[in-house]
Chain A
């Protein structure tokens, strides 16, 4: 699903070069659930931006769903973000003026889905995260956990190939965090590819594989085949 080869990113290459990412090679299979860990400045955010098609690498290659990304135009990148990637952010990034339903509709607006279909799909996605009774609430009228559920519904609504979650529990208490992580686990069971960035070891442990970044390179990888990721072990949400 995701394949990076010798991926590098250098900021300010002319004046004060910062080698944020230094030749990272990685492969993530379809349906895999991967966590990326590392201290700040380790290059994990840069890596997320690259695989999220928000940025282009200085050198190296990156394939998403079989497509080489590093050389496409800005508009094509927007198209790929829209169709193939679902973002979940630490601070939810919901538009405060819009209801939950309208927020979830947003990605479909840029996909050119008609109003009727948009409403239908947005409802369906909100149903999936248990928010059907809060369709017309605005972000300020919802709790942090509820907002993150709306954000997850928004990330899912265009049926992306990869779900990218950047510290999705960073603004949530531990109980709510657990609820949100259970949603990810459920999505993983339904064959969604998930890449999770976190600095919390407990959260990373929900995944199948943890990749540790340090100083722009992969420090080590941890396989968690016996990890407590199954709902049977974690309880239902």
Chain B
């Protein structure tokens, strides 16, 4: 007897007990749906985070002083001269900029806001892929000339100058007056939930405004992604040679992405495993109902044996019935899982990621459950004695 006919027989038998079969497969449906949804949402979330980080630029690296070192910071760890020297000595570097942060009040128009004032070089804008909504970012000449200019975030421009254009307006930070020459577009990003607002000023100007503060780190990018790691290490060695006794640390965006990937991966795995337990329970349900079915159909089994069915034929018939039952559940579960993933993803505003591998795995898994939990009932059926089975009512 071929497989197709066995499948037809199985479908026939499932159809004749439709309600019971539906209840039985429910466990599989819920299990598969849960696993698919969890994995899809997890992978979607991971892809979103990765995409955002990719947008920032995966060639990005940062070098900062070793926070574990007991040496007190002097403020001499990063000098402006270092930047030029690094760019000269290490040709793989495309952009490099210091980053200095100070939290301060900013007055503009009739309004006052407390924001982060970031001192950077002209390289910062192309390095971080900052897009201008209006005006421009300051350039190398502005920086060299210590011109009192600033670029501000879109949200801040709105809060300070309301509907008016901010370009050409004056803002005052710690008593220093600066002219706004650019408004930075704020891209919708999952990292920017708090709508943080920055004021970017040339690093030399920043040092004038906040003479007691110091540069906390330098950031840079390389031309090619494969150079990031080696280049970052070069920068660290270079700095350590120039500043005796200071230890530096570095991190690349690549490393961070890997870390985020690992964490989301582990989370998906754990939640997926919990969902997988319901699959196990579903499988036991299938086994239970198949055992009932074997008992109910003892006479049928006896008859089939009398008509020439071998033990193998009976085994195959019941095994295929269990597999078909699980696969039907699996397919319905996949549909619900994908649907659920899309729904949740829509609420969470990230794309669900249903990979073919996940679908295939779910399919194979539900068939596997059918085999695993169908084996015992099928084996029981195939071991019946035809005489006994025929005599049974």
A and B: bona fide binding partners: yes
Q: Does B5 contact A (CB under 8 A)?
A: yes
Number of interface residues of A (CB under 8 A): 25
Question: Is B390 in contact with A106, judged by CB distance below 8 angstroms?
Answer: no
Q: Does B304 contact A (CB under 8 A)?
A: yes
Contact with A54, one of B5, B13, B386 (Cβ below 8 angstroms)? B386
CA distance A87 to B310 in the complex (A): 16
Question: Is B303 in contact with A95, judged by CB distance below 8 angstroms?
Answer: yes
CA distance A179 to B387 in the complex (A): 28
B160 to chain A, nearest CB (A): 79
CA distance A93 to B300 in the complex (A): 8
CA distance A74 to B308 in the complex (A): 10
Contact with A74, one of B300, B306, B311 (Cβ below 8 angstroms)? B311
CA distance A224 to B306 in the complex (A): 31
Interfacial chain A residues near B13, Cβ < 8 Å: 97
CA distance A78 to B1 in the complex (A): 13
Question: Is A52 in contact with B306, judged by CB distance below 8 angstroms?
Answer: yes
CA distance A205 to B307 in the complex (A): 28
Interfacial chain B residues near A52, Cβ < 8 Å: 306
Q: Does B313 contact A (CB under 8 A)?
A: yes
Residues A60-110 near B (CB distance < 8 A):
74-75, 78-79, 81-83, 87, 89, 93, 95, 97-98, 106-107, 109-110
CA distance A158 to B307 in the complex (A): 10
B292 to chain A, nearest CB (A): 17
Interfacial chain B residues near A83, Cβ < 8 Å: 308
Question: Is A109 in contact with B306, judged by CB distance below 8 angstroms?
Answer: no
* CB-CB under 8 A for A81 and B300, given A54-B386, A55-B387, A89-B390: no
Q: Produce 1/0 per residue, B279-305, CB < 8 A to A.
A: 000000000000000000001100111
Instruction: Give A154's nearest chain B residue, CB to CB.
Output: B307
B11 to chain A, nearest CB (A): 11
Q: Does B69 contact A (CB under 8 A)?
A: no
Q: Does B159 contact A (CB under 8 A)?
A: no
* CB-CB under 8 A for A78 and B387, given A95-B300, A97-B12: no
Question: Is A110 in contact with B313, judged by CB distance below 8 angstroms?
Answer: yes
Q: Which of B13, B303, B307, B313 has the most CB of A within 10 A?
A: B307
* CB-CB under 8 A for A54 and B306, given A89-B390, A97-B12, A109-B5: yes
Interfacial chain A residues near B310, Cβ < 8 Å: 74-75, 78-79, 110
Q: Does B74 contact A (CB under 8 A)?
A: no
Q: Does A49 contact B (CB under 8 A)?
A: yes
Interfacial chain A residues near B12, Cβ < 8 Å: 97-98
CA distance A54 to B13 in the complex (A): 26
Question: Is B390 in contact with A79, judged by CB distance below 8 angstroms?
Answer: no
A75 to chain B, nearest CB (A): 5
CA distance A109 to B1 in the complex (A): 6
Instruction: Give A82's nearest chain B residue, CB to CB.
Output: B308
CA distance A52 to B305 in the complex (A): 12
Contact with B308, one of A55, A81, A93, A95 (Cβ below 8 angstroms)? A81
Instruction: Give A102's nearest chain B residue, CB to CB.
Output: B12
Residues B327-371 near A (CB distance < 8 A):
none
Q: Does A223 contact B (CB under 8 A)?
A: no
CA distance A93 to B307 in the complex (A): 11
* CB-CB under 8 A for A110 and B307, given A49-B387, A75-B312: yes
Instruction: Give A78's nearest chain B residue, CB to CB.
Output: B310
Interfacial chain A residues near B386, Cβ < 8 Å: 54
Question: Is B311 in contact with A75, judged by CB distance below 8 angstroms?
Answer: yes
Interfacial chain B residues near A82, Cβ < 8 Å: 307-308
B308 to chain A, nearest CB (A): 2
Q: Does A17 contact B (CB under 8 A)?
A: no
Interfacial chain B residues near A106, Cβ < 8 Å: 304, 307
Interfacial chain B residues near A81, Cβ < 8 Å: 305-308
CA distance A107 to B306 in the complex (A): 9
Q: Does A111 contact B (CB under 8 A)?
A: yes
20 contacts between A and B (CB under 8 A): A49-B387, A52-B306, A54-B306, A54-B390, A74-B311, A75-B311, A75-B312, A78-B309, A78-B310, A81-B306, A81-B307, A93-B306, A95-B300, A106-B304, A106-B307, A107-B307, A109-B5, A110-B304, A110-B307, A110-B308
> Which 6 pairs, one residue from A and one from B, show the smallest C-beta to C-beta distance?
A82-B308, A110-B308, A78-B310, A107-B307, A93-B303, A75-B310
Q: Give B residues with C-beta under 8 Å from A.
A: 1, 5, 12-13, 16, 299-300, 303-313, 386-387, 390
